[in-house]
Structure 1
């Protein structure tokens, strides 16, 4: 069977794309390996009507809604390769199943690469996070730390001051702040520490101290660590998609990539900001692009 559209990725972008296409009576294969990036997160925020919902509950409700539409098939499997056909695309999963579709949406998201600091992962998603908009409210007025090895360190530090003025900014041994930026932060009462971090100290998911390589320990109860984002899958690169300067898959306003019939939505296309509501809206946008292009192709036959 040839699907109208296959969607790789069952996050908010892929789910909303499937919802829109299902309502447009398109035959859709929604393919998801059930390994969401936000699985460690205690709650999802910033999405109206779902603020504070756990990621698992968000996905449960979303799948319940999407699968009400009989033309949407949910395939819980892992795609291992994608090939271009004259009439569309062929996907191969880890069990050898082949799925063919006229159009393909990559809603595969990104992976986070965090600094290698001892003690980070037991605290991640509980008292250490990467997005102030997602978790800043829960950490408001606490003694916080920002760790960033990237040029975005200054921006993130300024942003976090909206939630707490008791702030230590760490570059983990990297030159990610200019002298002028350090002076500006210190004028706001921010402590800047450029020494490498040896470990995060805490228990039961709660940060207690940041220990630096020089032995100094700074008490903190939470904070934000800036990761590097990379594509979760190689499919866009393998198919020859143009990329943005930030590493996302370049798309037009309706999610079309540089490869005819191939669309991208969510974090895979714009990398940041990584927000559920952005991704869901982007999935809707790409689905409308798919449906518009299918409509035009079928109308002239």
Structure 2
């Protein structure tokens, strides 16, 4: 790639990054998108709750988006992993894993998060297929089915309450000693929600579609879907190295304009919000692109 300097470098070329790129490409901005090709939903068969794309395969949505963004001739793509960013007098210097160096005035991180899956045999194989994180994204497809929730304490109680909207055939698996209050326990039982405190050994599944939860005591529970919210970390460590603030939840802190606390550094998509969905990633990316363009105009006018 001959061009080395850009007005904006976007790190992360999935839904949020591509949406921001479209805003900036249509604003005639010189943009470089650096992407390593590992979206967090790459194992998910279908995307939902995104108007005009409901039920489409995630890879199809992103491929179509990239084709549409590629129309804008001021946009370029670099297939690789950004590993380092330095603040310079005039902006930023971004270095990739292969040693390529690019500079820009503004940087947008649309890098998502990395889920830290528990060491339960079968969990990783089912993740995004029948082990789900969001009922708004996938709840309709498993409505009224035998469903389990893996959670405990306050989160387990609230999660069970939420999922009961989609199915009444529900059980809460705490994977260890129950941490609910006696009042919460009674409320769940009153609503017909079974509670299993046994530690989980493995998932019995067929190509990622859950059949049974196997507990360490040998007990087996048949389910068609599981909801879980495993811990996560930032997929890209660069923002924190640059000095960007991280919330208690492990998310990049941004203001209403998608700005981080570091001047000229923006963030959008899953790395900034617990509401992880394609629709929200697209929305925040599109808005971030418009804000970045406006900031460039203000600086140059």
Question: Match for residue 279 of structure 1?
Answer: 281
Within 5 Å, give how 1:71-82 maps onto structure 2. Answer: 71-82=74-85
Kept in 1: contact 2:117–2:124 (CA 8 A)? no
Instruction: Report the Cα distance in structure 2 between the residues aligned to 1:67 and 1:293, rounded to whole angstroms.
Output: 23
Question: Match for residue 183 of structure 1?
Answer: 186
Instruction: Report the Cα distance in structure 2 between the residues aligned to 1:177 and 1:83, rounded to whole angstroms.
Output: 46
Q: Which moved more, 1:183-192 or 1:147-156?
A: 147-156
Instruction: Report the Cα distance in structure 1 between the residues aligned to 2:231 and 2:151, rounded to whole angstroms.
Output: 10
Question: Match for residue 144 of structure 1?
Answer: 147
Aligned-pair CA distance for 1:162: 1.3
Instruction: Report the Cα distance in structure 1 between the residues aligned to 2:47 and 2:152, rounded to whole angstroms.
Output: 26
Instruction: Report the Cα distance in structure 2 between the residues aligned to 1:34 and 1:121, rounded to whole angstroms.
Output: 19
Instruction: Report the Cα distance in structure 2 between the residues aligned to 1:174 and 1:273, rounded to whole angstroms.
Output: 29
Question: Match for residue 69 of structure 1?
Answer: 72
Aligned-pair CA distance for 1:234: 0.7
Kept in 1: contact 2:80–2:96 (CA 8 A)? yes
Q: Secondary structure at the match of 1:40?
A: coil
TM-aligned CA distance change 1:59 to 1:195, over 3 Å: same
Within 5 Å, give how 1:1-301 maps onto structure 2. Answer: 1-149=4-152, 151-173=154-176, 175-270=178-273, 272-299=274-301
TM-aligned CA distance change 1:99 to 1:63, over 3 Å: same
Deviation above 4 Å: which 4+ runs of structure 1?
none
Give the TM-score taking structure 2 as reference length: 0.95
Q: Cα deviation per residue 1:158-191 (whole Å; 9 max; x = unaligned)?
A: 1111111001111111544332222111110000
Consecutive unaligned residues of structure 2, counting only runs of 5 or more, are: none
CA RMSD of aligned residues (A): 1.4
Give the TM-score taking structure 1 as reference length: 0.95
Instruction: Report the Cα distance in structure 1 between the residues aligned to 2:250 and 2:53, rounded to whole angstroms.
Output: 30
Query: Alignment length, in residue pairs?
Result: 298
Q: Cα deviation per residue 1:102-138 (whole Å; 9 max; x = unaligned)?
A: 0000100101112221121222233222221111111
Consecutive unaligned residues of structure 1, counting only runs of 5 or more, are: none
Kept in 1: contact 2:37–2:79 (CA 8 A)? yes
Instruction: Report the Cα distance in structure 2 between the residues aligned to 1:206 and 1:249, rounded to whole angstroms.
Output: 33
Instruction: Report the Cα distance in structure 1 between the residues aligned to 2:121 and 2:106, rounded to whole angstroms.
Output: 44
Kept in 2: contact 1:13–1:281 (CA 8 A)? yes
Aligned-pair CA distance for 1:226: 1.6
